[in-house]
Amino acid sequence: MLAAALARALRDEEVGFTGLVTGGAAAVFGTAIPLAAMELARLSHAPGLTILLAGWSHNPDLFGLPELPDSEFDAKLRDLAADAQMMDYPGPWSIRRGDIDFGFSSAVQVDRSGNINSVCVGDYRRPRVRLVGPILQPEHMALFGREYVMMPHHERRNFVERVDYVSGVGYPGGRAGRRRLGLERGGPAWVITPRCIFDFDEDDGRMRVRSMHPGQTPAVLQAATGFDLGDLAGVPTTESPTPEELELLRRQVDPHGILLRSADRSTR
Amino acid sequence: MPTGQGGKAKLLTLPEAAARIADGARLAIGGFAVYQHPMALVRELVRQGRRDLTVVGHVNGNDVDLLAGAGCLRRVESSYVGLEKYGLAPCFRRRVERGQLEMVDYPEVLSFDRFRASADNLSFWPCDYLGGTDILTHNPAIKPFDCPLTGRRLWAVPPAAPDVVVLHAVAADERGNVVIPARHLLPQSLDVTMGRACDTVIVTTEQVVSRDYIRRHARQVLLPSYRVSHVVEVPWGAHPCPVLGRYVIDDAHFRQYAAAAATEDGFAGYLERYVTGPRDHDEYLERVGRAHLERLREVDAP
C-alpha cells in the first residue's frame, strides 16, 4: 500500500537515493518500501528513474535475489549487475548541484515542522539516549530535491512538538523560513508512518495528515502523536494499490517476496 | 629491477607503530562504519593504555566503540558512530550519556570534505547548507561568513587536521607503496583521501609485497611511498571487520561484541578475553580461532 502510494509520486528520469537499513521495521521503512516504490514506478510510469541503492549502486539487479543484501559495502552488493557504481568520493553524482531528486531517511524523532533527529534524545551534552549521529540527514533535507521521511514507529515519543536535535531541517516558518536559513530547495515532501502519511502546508510549515491507513481513527492517531493534528474529519483513507499495481509488485518487483513480506506485517 | 632498491624500508612492529601515536593525539582511523578498520592497531592502542585521544573521522563504528569503552578517548568528531545492523555503539553511547566523552557531530559529506580540506592544505571547507541545523548550535568551530563574490551566507568548516592517520590495506611494500584494489568501494576510496590528508600515515597491511609486485600493479598504487610513514604487516589486521576481497565480516564475533558491550561488565570481559589478555595480535588470532578465521576468507580477482 505504501509502496504503491509512493510510486505514484515518483516521476520519470528522477534519481532516488535510499540507504540499506537492516533489522525489523527500520529495514522495511528505510529500505524495502522505498525500493519497492522505485521499482514499481520504473515498471509502470517512470522507466528512466534511477535507483541509487546505498547511495552508490545505480539500478542494481537485486529483485531476483533470494534475500536483500544486509551490508552496504561488501562484495555481494558490489558484484550485482548495475548501471553504474560510485566507487569513490567525489563520485558520479554531485550532491550539491542537485543531482539527487528525492531521498528516503529515517529518524527517531520528527516534529510538527518536519525537522528530524537521529543524534540524541534529551539534552545534547548529557543525553538520555545517544544515537548514531546526523549521518547524511543534513544533506538529505537540504540538498536533495525532496525527502520522504520514513518513520518505522509512530508513537508520542517519535512525533514530538520539537525534536531534541535538528539533524535534518523541515519547514520552520514554511518555505520562506527555509529560504531565510539559506535553504533554496528541498525539504520533506511526506512523512510516512505505520499509521498515516503526512504532507506539509509549505506556507505555514506545518505537518498535516494527508491520509490515514485502514484501521486508524482520528482519536487513535491523535493519541499516538505528540502535537496537535487539528481537525481530522474528512481525511481520506490511504489508497490501496490497484489490481495492476499489486500484480506488478507481486510478480515483477518482488517475485521472491523479499521486500514486501515483512512490509505487510509491519504496517498491520 | 631497473633502478636501485628505491629508498628505505619503513617496516615497524605493531607495538612500535602504536607507540608513534601519543596520548592526546588527533587520530584518524581508516575504514567506514563496520568495514576495514585497522582493528589490530586499535587493540594495540588499548593494550598500551593510550589516553585522551581525539578520533577525527567520518563514519565510525567498532573502532571508536572499543577505544571509548577502554577509556582511551577524550573526544570524537564524526557523522556516525554505530554498529550498523548490530545496533548502536554501546560503549560510545554510555560514555556520551555520562558526559565522559565529548562528541562533535558533523554531516557525513562535510566530514569527508574535512579530509579533502586537509589534503589540499586549506584552512576551511566552504558549505552552504547548515542553516537551521543543530550542527551549528553545538559546534563553535564552524564559522559563518558571507561569500566575497556573491554575498551568500556560507559556513567555514574546519579541516580534519589529524596528527596521525592509520589505515588497513590489502597490500603494501616495505617502502610504503600501498595497493588499493581496482574493484574498491567508498570505504577504500575514503582511506585514500585520509592518507593524503596527513604527514604521518601508518598503514597496516594484510601482506607486505615485493617491489616487483608493486611495479607490476603500479596503477593500483593510490598511496605512493612518499605519502606513507610506516608499514606494519598484520594478517587479519581488520578482524572482526571485513577486508573487501580478502575476508568477510565476522558476523558471530560482531554479535558477541554487541551483546558483551551492552553492559560494562560484559565489555570488561570482552576486553580481557580479546584485547588486554592476549599478549599480541597472534595470540588474539589464536583466541578467535584459526579454523574460524579460515571460514571468513573470500577470493577476489585483483
Confidence of residue A88 (pLDDT cuts 50, 70, 90): very high
Give one word for B33, left, alpha or beta, with left for phi > 0 and alpha for psi -120 to 50: left
Average pLDDT for A133-157? 98
Asked if B153's CB is within 8 angstroms of A139's CB, the reply is no
Q: Which of residues 229-268 of A touch B (CB under 8 A)?
A: none
For B169-214, the pLDDT digits (tens) are: 999 999 999 999 999 999 999 999 999 999 999 999 999 999 999 9
- Looking at the predicted structure, is the pLDDT value of residue B119 above 60? yes
- Looking at the predicted structure, is the pLDDT value of residue A261 above 70? no
Q: Domain coordinates of chain B in residue numbers?
A: 25-105+162-294, 108-157
Helix (H) or strand (E) holding B223: strand B221-223
- CA dist., res. B225 & res. B45, Å (int): 24
Same domain for A88 and A109, yes or no, is no
Average pLDDT for A252-256? 90
Mean pLDDT in chain B? 96
Neighbours of A266 (CB within 10 A): 17
For B128-151, the pLDDT digits (tens) are: 999 999 999 999 999 999 999 999
The answer to which of A36-50, A57-71, A204-218 has the lowest mean pLDDT is A57-71
Contact by Cβ (8 Å): A127, A120: yes
The number of folded domains in chain A is: 2
Alpha helix (H) residue ranges in A103-146: 137-143
Same domain for A151 and A227, yes or no, is yes
Total residue length of chain A: 268
Q: Which structural domain range is residue A226 located in? A: 101-233
Same domain for A70 and A140, yes or no, is no
- CA dist., res. A39 & res. A41, Å (int): 5
C-alpha cell recorded at residue A268: 498491520
For chain B, the straight-line distance linking the first and the last C-alpha, in angstroms and rounded, comes to 22
pLDDT at B140: 97
Confidence of residue B302 (pLDDT cuts 50, 70, 90): low
Q: Which residue of A has its CA nearest to B242?
A: A74
Reported ipTM: the value is 0.95
Scan for cell 536559513, then name that residue. A181
Same domain for A112 and A149, yes or no, is yes
Q: What angle do the packed helices B281-288 and B39-47 form, to 10 degrees?
A: 110
Quick check: B64 contacting A, CB < 8 Å?
Answer: no
Contact by Cβ (8 Å): B43, B66: yes
- CA dist., res. A31 & res. A37, Å (int): 10
Same domain for A158 and A228, yes or no, is yes
Average pLDDT for B150-158? 97
- CA dist., res. A122 & res. A114, Å (int): 18
Asked if A182's CB is within 8 angstroms of B128's CB, the reply is yes
The answer for residues whose C-beta is within 8 angstroms of residue A265's C-beta and 6 or more apart is none
Same domain for A63 and A111, yes or no, is no
List B155's β-bridge partners, or say none: B127, B144
Contact by Cβ (8 Å): A174, A202: yes
Considering the entire predicted model, what is its pTM?
Answer: 0.96
Contact by Cβ (8 Å): B232, B203: yes
Query: B219: which DSSP letter?
Result: G
What burial letters (b/e) apply to B251-290, b meaning 16+ CB within 10 Å? eebbebbbebbbeeebbeebbeebbeebeebeebbeebee
- CA dist., res. A223 & res. A116, Å (int): 20
Quick check: B280 contacting A, CB < 8 Å?
Answer: no
Pairing of strands B178-179, B164-172: antiparallel
Quick check: B135 contacting A, CB < 8 Å?
Answer: yes
Confidence of residue B1 (pLDDT cuts 50, 70, 90): very low
Same domain for A165 and A206, yes or no, is yes
CATH architecture of B25-105+162-294: 3-Layer(aba) Sandwich (3.40)
Mean pLDDT in chain A? 94
- Looking at the predicted structure, is the pLDDT value of residue B124 above 60? yes
Same domain for A61 and A152, yes or no, is no
The answer for residues whose C-beta is within 8 angstroms of residue B234's C-beta and 6 or more apart is B14, B38, B40, B41, B168, B204, B205, B206, B281
Same domain for A140 and A217, yes or no, is yes
Same domain for A149 and A106, yes or no, is yes
Quick check: A142 contacting B, CB < 8 Å?
Answer: yes
- CA dist., res. A120 & res. A126, Å (int): 9
Q: Which of residues 110-129 of A touch B (CB under 8 A)?
A: 115, 119-120, 124-129
Contacts with B183 from chain A: Cβ below 8 Å: 78, 87
pLDDT at A267: 44
Asked if A181's CB is within 8 angstroms of B106's CB, the reply is no
For chain A, the straight-line distance linking the first and the last C-alpha, in angstroms and rounded, comes to 11
Same domain for A37 and A106, yes or no, is no
The answer to which of A166-175, B4-13, B75-84, B233-242 has the lowest mean pLDDT is B4-13
Q: Which of residues 74-133 of B touch A (CB under 8 A)?
A: 78-82, 84-85, 87-89, 92-93, 96-99, 103, 105-110, 112, 128-133
- Looking at the predicted structure, is the pLDDT value of residue B8 above 90? no
Confidence of residue B6 (pLDDT cuts 50, 70, 90): low
Same domain for A138 and A173, yes or no, is yes
Contact by Cβ (8 Å): A190, A199: yes
- Interface mutation vs chain A, best among B58, B85, B104, B246, most A CBs within 10 Å: B85
- Looking at the predicted structure, is the pLDDT value of residue A236 above 90? yes
Scan for cell 571547507, then name that residue. B125
